[in-house]
Amino acid sequence: MVEEKSGVELLLSPYRVLDLTDERGLLCGRMLADLGADVVQVEPPGGSTARNLGPFYEDDVHPEKSLFWWAYAANKRGITLNLHTAGGRELLHRLVKDAHFLIESFPPGYLADLGLGYPDLEAINPGLVMVSITPFGKDGPYAGYQAPDIVGLATSGLLYLTGDSDRPPVKVGFPQFYLHGAAAGAGGAMLAHTHRALTGQGQHVDVSCQQAVAKALANAPQNWDIDGVVIKRMGAFRQASKDATVRITWRCKDGHVNFMLQGGSTARSTRSMLAWMDEEGMGDEDLKRVNWEELGFGQGSAEVAEMAAIPMDRFLMSHTKAELTQGGFERRILLSPVATHRDLLDHPQLKARDFFKELEHPELEASVTHPGAFVKNEGEPRVGLRRRPPLIGEHNREIYRDELGLTLDELTGLREGGVI
């Protein structure tokens, strides 16, 4: 068992996490690992299904080269274990005895049918915090339903809001449903951890990915409940009132920026933008005559939107993202660039915080740039990205032999018997 130590500077470094999730929950364990926890990824023999998800390093389709797996399994150790064997379940019992957290993303009731439900594991370790991440939670009429990303986003309300107003809904480019649930699982784990620190009691945290996504819809449900207004798909626009929209995403010379002509307390930003356009001979007298101060924050009209379209588009298309960002800073304009993935790698803020890390991959004879941790700390040891993602069964000997005390002969027997 990892020795517990005092001191907030260590964050989660004294704690052990057993991560039984697949692609539907890997981020939860990654977040706890980034906070310093010793996260052990438990995969079936042959590897997790998440290893089959592309893209792949140098386009080589191989379970050890999945970039998806790399992103969410970094900072973890890895073992293999077949829970469908009596020997596998016995080994999990032994691992649970000294663990602090267990994360899983199996269908509701799956582990209970194997004798590995929360009551079974709690009897072994009363302080265990178990986090279950499922599409719809462990109860209710949808509990047994499966949900790929697009189904999850549709049933959560997010899909309805995504896309242009005159077209059917579109899916967000990268899967989001289970990432929301996994992140919520990490938050739930920490709340249960606080309860355990105060009482010594573990808890079972039941995460519904549907609820996690619905929680992220901001005020869309409340708009309907209170005002009877259905927030619509608006693409590059924002709904300013029941009948009006205002553009927030604009093209520029080398990409896109976010900027909104707005009034009220933020009218100063709009006035500064109009003054900048004047400086460069692209001003518009009609826009300058609008009483922005009385218009109200985020409000607008179809007339103002039509008036702004051509002059704003002409001005922004004459500048790059970098020029608009710097000019916006200097003039205190509420404008931001829409960053591409390449922009993120070179972003000065992320560089200043040392977000991206080079990790050695000896098996590839190469170093690879990985996204780092979501948090920094000032104490020692420093949390963050410190370990490349594990190979299949890479730490079997380290954990089963060195920590559980199994012999090499026993390990060989377990491997040949399909247990590990």
Collect all residues with Cβ–Cβ distance below 8 Å to 35 and sequence separation of at least 6. 11, 12, 373, 375, 383
Question: Per-residue pLDDT for 78 more than 60?
Answer: yes
pTM (2 d.p.) = 0.90
Residues 193 and 97 placed together within one structural domain of the fold: yes
Range of the structural domain that residue 334 is part of: 234-343
Residue 265, pLDDT score = 84
Say whether both 132 and 43 belong to one domain: yes
Taking 70 as the threshold, does the pLDDT of residue 299 lie above it?
no
CATH label of the domain that carries residue 292 = 3.30.1540
Domain contains 369: yes
The dihedral built from the CA positions of residue 372, 373, 376 and 380, taken in this order, carries a sign that is negative
- 90 inside domain: yes
By mean pLDDT, which of 10-24, 34-48, 141-155, 293-307 is the weakest? 293-307
Q: What are phi and psi of 36, to 5 degrees?
A: 105, -5
Q: Is 16 helix (H, G, I), strand (E, B) or coil?
A: strand
Residues 257 and 300 in one domain: yes
Do 208 and 241 belong to one domain?
no
pLDDT of amino acid 409: 97
Amino acid at the residue 233: R
- Per-residue pLDDT reduced to its tens digit, 219-245: 777 766 776 767 778 888 877 666 677
Q: What is the CATH number of the domain that holds 208?
A: 3.40.50.10540
Q: What angle do the packed helices 302-316 and 267-279 form, to 10 degrees?
A: 50
| 318 and 402 inside one domain | no
Dihedral through CA 116, CA 118, CA 123, CA 125, nearest 10?
100
Q: What is the pLDDT of residue 97?
A: 98
The predicted model gives 113-130 an average pLDDT of 98
How far apart are the C-alpha atoms of 235 and 164, rounded to whole Å? 4
Residue 1: inside a domain: no
Residues 140-183 pLDDT 10s = 999 999 999 999 999 999 999 899 988 999 988 889 999 999 99
Greater model confidence, 302 or 61:
61
For residue 288, tell me if it sits in a domain.
yes
CA-CA-CA-CA torsion for 77, 78, 83, 88, nearest 10 degrees?
-80
Burial class (CB in 10 A: 0-12, 13-18, 19+), 49: middle
Q: Is the dihedral of CA 106, 112, 116, 119 positive or negative?
A: positive
The percent of residues in the chain predicted with pLDDT above 70, rounded, is: 92
Burial code (b: 16+ CB inside 10 Å, e: under 16) for 353-382 equals eebbbebebeeeeeebebbbbeeebeeeee
In angstroms, the CA 364 to CA 386 distance is 18
Q: Which residue has the higher pLDDT, 341 or 393?
A: 393
Domain boundary among 343, 366, 393: 343
* Sequence-distant (≥ 6) Cβ neighbours of residue 53 within 8 angstroms: 23, 66, 68, 69
Residue 98 to residue 103: CA distance in whole angstroms: 15
Residue 226 domain-assigned (yes or no): no
Question: Quick one: three-class SS letters along 356-376?
Answer: CEEEEECCCCEEEEECCCCCC
User: 324, 343, 362: which is the final residue of a domain?
Assistant: 343
Spell out the residues 6+ positions from residue 141 whose beta carbon is closer than 8 angstroms to its own: none
